[in-house]
Structure 1
Amino acid sequence: MTAFTEGSPCWADAMFSDVEGAKAFYGEVLGWTFAEASSEYGGYTQAYSDGKAVAAVVPPMPGQEGQSAWCLYISSPDAAATARKITAAGGQVLMEPMQVGDFGTMAIAAAPGGAVFGVWQGGAHQGFEKVNEPGAFCWAEVFTREPEKADAFFPAVFPYGVKTMADEHVDFRTYNLPGGPALGRMGMGEEFPPEVPAYVNVYFAVPDCDTALEKAQKLGATLQFGPMSSPFGRFAALTDPQGANFSVIDLATVEGEMPDLTDV
């Protein structure tokens, strides 16, 4: 498939201590099917929607057991150069660029404030084979307690322009590519308990938000916010049974007018 533009979200995966449990959960909630685990790559297991690769799950490496979390990968034409930009802009490279067979090159980093994300330089595997459709990734937001630092960091690393949303109730901005918004940035206020770290929240599209939410809760997920209708769709924020945060959104069920976004 066509390579992703630099700065575009291009892949998502998560480590789960109970991989079979994760497969059962996301299979039911998002309709995913799964490939055989790749023993050569630590049990890495791709997830599919309608036969198209949409994400992956993997058991933790020794010493990395703990709460699960989704990792969003941002496309780069040169992972090593992006890693240098991350360090220069005040971020931290947690895992130096590493070639993964002929699939591509990956790195893991943290933005100022602590939100962890991945960098992916595609090879044989470019990334998502399906987006913005039920069962697939459609959006992501950086949640941070240091929004000013994030707003300086991400455009220094990737070719983003920044826009702000005219809403006195939330501190929200978008990081934009020429084709439109690539990522959102949400400032974390007092409504977030202090023990909740900065993170990147991934959104997966579903045919019906309330049905997906009901399935998720029956399987042990915790509702964090919603369900709520918006100009972007009806969505709910969840924590899965192993602690990974994510959101589901029905892109077709919209309500209200699109908010104004202005250049920063």
Structure 2
Amino acid sequence: MLTTDYEDGAPNWVDLGTPDIGAAARFYAGLFGWDFRAGGEEAGGYGMFHLGGKTVAGGAAVPADQGPAAWQVYFRTADADATAAAVLRAGGRVMAEPMDIRDSGRLAVFADPEGVGFGVWQPGRNEGLGAVTEVGSLCWTELYTGDIDAAAEFYHAVLGWQIGGVPFDGGTYTTVRPAGTTEEAAIGGLVPLATDPVEDAERPYWTPYFEVTDCDATAAGAEEAGGKVRMTPISLEGVGRMAKLADPFGARFAVIASVPPPPPGQAA
């Protein structure tokens, strides 16, 4: 479960790169109620999405010739430079060298051996997102990959993740969690591309999940606003109802109306 008591290896930031940040902001405002506040010149056009006064994502305009629209997930690290060295040792690439973002923190961007982009955030004044797991905020992450074992080995070497598994009818869902934590602290999953009929086997990627109150209404709203329903809503027993979507520019993400956790002291 994601919390804002960020452990090393847990997702603590997510942002959107899109060719039209204004139009994208209007789409997400309608979908999640987000308010986008653009940064000044010193921020290079980078801005923040807010909900209820809390930061829930970042975003910036990225020219189409620099890459497709996409969401990117960042994970907490205590030392971005050491993480960059670990990425290289494990066969990944450093796409953006560690850099200070004023006194807010230190950022770096990488690609894993399959070419999937991800980042790390070493907190300074800014610990990360102001809200997670709440409605309208990041609540889960998934890596769609061509090789579960290789991905698990890479991210363990880089972020120290422990690997777990949740059985379901027909297989086991691979979960990941920060080092030294229990399964209840899982922050994401690893999913084989070949088993997912809506995914392109040539396009491994990280996808963020955002919590919603009504998955079906959110999916319908995304389509009405010019987005795409990549996978129609489905219910997963004990988990919730989820759908895979894309915004009008093709950035992929997912939404879920999670099953509420049991009250303290009551078994699930």
Fold-level similarity (TM above 0.5): yes
1:23 maps to what in 2? 25
- Please say if residues 146 and 201 of structure 2, whose CA atoms lie closer than 8 Å, have aligned partners that are also in contact: no
1:259 maps to what in 2? none
> Which of 213, 217, 222 is 1:211 aligned to?
217
Query: Does structure 1 residue 228 correspond to structure 2 residue 237?
Result: no
Q: Which amino acid aligns with 1:71?
A: Q
2:189 maps to what in 1? 184
**Displaced runs of 4 or more, over 6 A:** none
2:175 maps to what in 1? 174
1:202 maps to what in 2? 208
- Please say if residues 226 and 236 of structure 1, whose CA atoms lie closer than 8 Å, have aligned partners that are also in contact: yes
1:107 maps to what in 2? 108
TM-fit CA distance, 1:82 = 0.6
Deviation digits for residues 124-166 of structure 1 (CA, Å, limit 9, x no counterpart)? 2111111101111000001111222101111111222111333
1:164 counterpart SS class: strand
CA distance in 1, matches of 2:128, 2:118: 15
CA distance in 2, matches of 1:95, 1:62: 19
Q: Percent identity?
A: 34
CA distance in 1, matches of 2:172, 2:206: 16
CA distance in 2, matches of 1:71, 1:152: 21
How many equivalent pairs are there? 252
Q: Which amino acid aligns with 1:186?
A: V
1:134 maps to what in 2? 135
CA distance in 1, matches of 2:63, 2:5: 29
Aligned CA-pair RMSD: 2.0
Name the stretch that deviates more: 163-172 or 73-82. 163-172
TM-fit CA distance, 1:171 = 6.3
CA distance in 1, matches of 2:225, 2:254: 15
CA distance in 2, matches of 1:2, 1:216: 27
Deviation digits for residues 151-207 of structure 1 (CA, Å, limit 9, x no counterpart)? 111111122211133347456311123152122111110633344x11001001111
Unaligned 5+ segments in structure 1 are 255-264
Q: Which amino acid aligns with 2:30?
A: E
Deviation digits for residues 55-76 of structure 1 (CA, Å, limit 9, x no counterpart)? 0110116952x31000000000
Unaligned 5+ segments in structure 2 are 262-268
> Which of 9, 13, 34 is 2:11 aligned to?
9
> Which of 54, 57, 64 is 1:55 aligned to?
57
Equivalences for residues 58-69 of structure 1 within 5 A:
58-60=60-62, 64=66, 66-69=67-70
CA distance in 2, matches of 1:205, 1:193: 24
